[in-house]
């Protein structure tokens, strides 16, 4: 089939929930993707921060085929080894906790909200049900997740939202004290580094104050590390930059190396409130995806991928800041590790398209921020290539 035939078929048969560019991606290798017509693209969006080890990774391919040939699915009615091994690996590299597996980021948010409310119910009854979240957050597309996402554009036409959601400004200490309450608040939910909402880092004082109030008022602190966790920011988990631990943490995106998986890690006091039948998933912790995720995490740990993300991120940001010196419409370059945002005066959709035309795939975060979330395995050559393309695109726009 040709590119146009595939696009026509999609337009005819797929629900119109996405606006896609006019190319069809066909195969990937390392940090590059090729379209159906053989054109090569440097991948600086990585399937929205999913392909952290790149494309066609031998260890991932091996893990998929090995486990698929052995046992692919039995449901959670039975014990299997892969999810036990993966849970142990995650816990040993985080904090004392237990893990619930599901199939996506949004599902892990749903589970985190349910588990936190269940714990809060045991502590303070039904009144203690409020979930506090923050402006410009993004927590996913299911009802609980959009309700917790404090951006009106995701709510439009879908009202009413889940009751008990309270939205506060991000990085605003003053608002916290009046809102987080022992009697009413079940949980505070935030991304230590907001991705979708514009690549905004939670300040240390903000995180410390939230932790302090959650401890004082017996409230669960949930970190959404779906995008910023698992080496992306230059530490294995983003919370390790501050040393401030959550009670509950959600993971997804890069965990399955491209296969769908979500995970909720919760401290024992939250896990102790759960019992068989309270929550579940048919596919969650599927043996294939858990075996693959174990291979992903082991590779991340053994190859020092977090450190690589930290050093490559610093080089990329330096390069972008020197571009900022030459292009006055770049307002800011920010991020942590290899989650990098370039804020422009105006909308970035045209820039994203122009970069693609020049052979570079990047994304956006909100309307004005260009987002780079490449594989964490990129090296100097990839960074130079990306900077050259962005520079060329900006120069031709200015000309
Ligand atoms: C921080 C964060 N939370 C939750 C989600 C939702 O994850 P999913 O798309 O896998 O449901 C995303 C996805 O972009 C995300 O970036």
Compute how many other C-beta atoms are within 10 angstroms of the C-beta atom of residue 325.
8
pLDDT at residue 399, as a whole number: 75
Q: What residues form DSSP beta bridges with 264?
A: 100, 250
What is the average per-residue pLDDT within 365-378? 97
Fold of 3-56+304-398: 3.90.1150
Cα 227 to averaged position of ligand 1 atoms, centre (Å): 7
Report whether pLDDT(398) > 80: no
Tokens describing residue 300: 């991340």
Token pair for residue 120? 């809060």
**pLDDT given for residue 397 in this prediction:** 84
Residues 340-356: what's their mean pLDDT?
Answer: 97
How large is the average pLDDT for residues 193-215? Answer: 98
- Mean pLDDT, to the nearest integer, of 87-110? 98
CA of 105 to the centre of ligand 1 (A): 5
**Confidence class for position 138, pLDDT limits 50, 70, 90:** very high
Best residue for ligand 1 mutational test, from 111, 145, 233, 253 (most atoms within 8 Å of Cβ): 253
- Which sequence spans correspond to the domains of the chain? 3-56+304-398, 71-302
Separation of 119 CA from ligand 1 center, angstroms? 24
How large is the average pLDDT for residues 250-271?
Answer: 98
Where are the extended beta strands (E) located within 32-184? Answer: 32-35, 40-43, 98-102, 130-134, 165-168
- Which residue's CA is minimally distant from atom 16 of ligand 1? 227
Instruction: Give kind and range of the element (H or E) at residue 380.
Output: helix 380-398
- In this model, does residue 196 exceed pLDDT 80? yes
**Measured in angstroms, how far is the CA atom of residue 120 from the centroid of ligand 1?**
24
Query: Averaged over 261-265, what is the pLDDT?
Result: 98
**Counting atoms of ligand 1 from 1, which one is nearest the CA of 107?**
11
Q: Which fold has domain 71-302?
A: 3.40.640
Mean pLDDT value across residues 204-214: 98
Q: Are 15 and 6 in contact (CB under 8 A)?
A: no
**What is the token pair recorded at 282?**
């048919």
Average pLDDT of the chain is: 98
Whole-number Cα distances in Å, 43 to 40, 187, 334: 9, 37, 19
- Please give the average per-residue pLDDT across 30-50, as a whole number: 98
Q: What whole-number distance in Å separates Cα of residue 178 and Cα of residue 176? A: 6
Name the pairing type of β-strands 130-134 and 165-168. parallel
Of residues 28 and 398, more confidence is placed in 28
Report how far apart the first and last C-alpha atoms of the chain are (Å, whole number): 38
Atom of ligand 1 nearest to the CA of 140: 6
- Residues 6 or more apart whose CB falls under 8 angstroms from that of 130 comprise 164, 165, 166, 181, 184, 185, 186
* pTM tops 0.95, yes or no: yes
Distance of CA 85 to the CA centre of its chain: 23
pLDDT of residue 287: 98
Structure tokens at 36: 């159906």
Residue 224: CB within 6 Å of ligand 1?
Answer: yes
Span from the CA of 266 to the centroid of ligand 1 (angstroms): 18
Segment 157-161 mean pLDDT: 98
* Residue 200 in this model has a pLDDT that exceeds 90: yes
């Amino acid at each position: 089939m040709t590119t146009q035939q595939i696009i026509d078929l999609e337009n005819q048969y797929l629900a119109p929930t996405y606006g896609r560019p006019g190319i069809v991606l066909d195969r990937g290798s390392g940090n590059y993707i090729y379209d159906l017509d053989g054109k090569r693209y440097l991948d600086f969006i990585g399937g929205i921060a999913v392909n952290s080890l790149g494309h066609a990774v031998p260890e991932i391919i091996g893990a998929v085929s090995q486990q698929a040939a052995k046992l692919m699915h039995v449901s959670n009615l039975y014990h299997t080894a892969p999810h036990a091994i993966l849970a142990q690996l995650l816990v040993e590299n985080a904090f004392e906790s237990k893990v619930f597996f599901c199939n996506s980021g949004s599902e892990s948010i749903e589970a985190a909200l349910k588990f936190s409310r269940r714990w809060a119910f045991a502590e303070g009854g039904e009144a203690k049900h409020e979930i506090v979240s923050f402006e410009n957050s993004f927590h996913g597309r299911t009802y609980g997740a959009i309700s917790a996402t404090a951006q009106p554009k995701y709510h439009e036409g879908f009202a009413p939202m889940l009751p008990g959601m309270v939205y506060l400004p991000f990085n605003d200490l003053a608002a916290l004290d009046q809102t987080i309450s022992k009697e009413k608040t079940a949980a505070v939910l935030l991304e230590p580094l907001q991705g979708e909402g514009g690549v905004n880092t939670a300040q240390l004082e903000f995180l410390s104050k939230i932790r302090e109030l959650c401890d004082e008022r017996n409230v669960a602190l949930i970190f959404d590390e779906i995008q910023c966790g698992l080496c992306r920011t230059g530490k294995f988990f983003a919370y390790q930059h501050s040393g401030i631990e959550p009670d509950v943490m959600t993971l997804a995106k890069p965990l399955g190396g491209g296969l769908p998986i979500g995970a909720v890690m919760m401290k024992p006091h939250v896990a102790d409130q759960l019992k068989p039948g309270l929550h579940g998933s048919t596919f969650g912790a599927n043996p294939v995806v858990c075996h693959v995720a174990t291979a992903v995490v082991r590779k991340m740990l053994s190859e020092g991928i977090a450190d690589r993300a930290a050093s490559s991120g610093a080089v990329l940001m330096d390069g972008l800041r020197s571009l900022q010196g030459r292009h006055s419409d770049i307002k800011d370059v920010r991020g942590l590790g290899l989650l990098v945002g370039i804020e422009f005066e105006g909308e970035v959709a045209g820039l994203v398209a122009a970069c693609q035309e020049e052979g570079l795939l990047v994304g956006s975060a909100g309307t004005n921020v260009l987002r780079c979330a490449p594989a964490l395995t990129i090296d100097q050559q990839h960074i130079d290539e990306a900077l050259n393309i962005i520079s060329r695109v900006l120069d031709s726009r200015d000309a």
